[in-house]
Amino acid sequence: MHKRKLGKSGLEVSAIGYGCMGLNFAYGQPMERVDAIDLVRKAFDLGVTFFDTAEAYGPYTNEEIVGEALAPFRDDVVIATKFGFINASGQNEMDSRPENIRRVADASLKRLRTDRIDLFYQHRVDPQVPIEDVAGAVRDLIAEGKVMYFGMSEAGAATIRQAHAVQPVAALQSEYSLWWREPEQEILPTLEELGIGFVPFSPLGKGFLTGAINEKTRFDDGDFRNIVPRFDEQARKANRALVDLIDDIALRKGATKAQIALAWLLKQKPWIAPIPGTTKLHRLEENLGASEVMMTNSDLDEIAGALGKIEIEGERYPEHLQKRINR
């Protein structure tokens, strides 16, 4: 697995990381704990050194799984986790008060079985707490050695700049993929200017870009996609044109659709490290194979031209969650 540095921070990670959320949260039936731990360890065996979790996933239990899984090789991996929701509920209410940031850090350290958090993200921007106070709280944790690097998630460009002026932001985590390219407008130029790395989550469009989902697919009752407008039946049918485009390129490259979607992301900037998630070993192996797919500038031009003719249907979040992004 190739390595990449997240911007100018010096933080080095595998070119493709592993998003651990789906192991037991948001996507229907959770994995058995022993199987989840085994899959995380297999990811490490395959070259992954970048693992993403959060106190809100579960809540709490995802960090425990990741901590147990990575304990045998803790010094060889980068663990990212997040703070910012009241009681880790993941609902609309935020809590990025400095005292809560410190509380979350201490609790996460215990669940992760470690003495430091490599990358500590603000999960969502809290409009009730000045971002300078948030950055200052993380700066203090870095000074104490409890946190190594500061990250933000789904923050707007102006907020990123304000935080970065207090404590350098090592990485921004936001959704970015072939079917969600909004970050190209303002976020990517801002990150490049400031030397901040980018960690795309949902790089496979929550599974849609793999081609495994169509308008007839039914999700488990607890699956987050049931409330996502982009996954209603009509939107899935309309958005199939994008999957067909990826499939054409994949056939020519001798790759899978997932690998093309990830290789496209890797080609955008050398400081981008996507974090696809999966609960299946064969999908994990497939995703990691994307780092070996050669994507040329002419390939990118072809994709850009084709994308200009495809209109993606449906919002990526339901209305009540849209308010939590790009603050």
Active site members: 57
Phi–psi pair at 301, nearest 5 degrees: -65, -40
Q: CB under 8 Å to 244, separation ≥6 — which residues?
A: none
Strand 50-52 to strand 18-19: parallel, antiparallel, or no bridges (unpaired)?
A: parallel
> Cα 52–58–257 angle (5° rounding)?
50
Phi–psi pair at 51, nearest 5 degrees: -125, 135
Q: Give dist(CA 110, CA 112) in Å, integer.
A: 5
Strand 12-14 to strand 147-153: parallel, antiparallel, or no bridges (unpaired)?
A: unpaired
Per 3-state DSSP, the chain is made up of helix, strand and coil in percentages (nearest 5) of 45, 15, 35
User: What single-letter amino acid sits at 195?
Assistant: G
Q: Give dist(CA 250, CA 260) in Å, integer.
A: 6
Q: For the beta carbon of residue 264, count every other beta carbon within 10 angstroms.
A: 23
Q: How far is the CA of 213 from the CAs of 71, 208, 225, 319, in angstroms?
A: 35, 5, 11, 23
Q: How far is the CA of 178 from the CAs of 214, 235, 283, 295, in angstroms?
A: 17, 16, 19, 14
The residues facing 272 across adjacent strands are: 198
Q: How many residues does the chain have?
A: 327
Q: How far is the CA of 90 from the CAs of 83, 212, 230, in angstroms?
A: 10, 28, 20
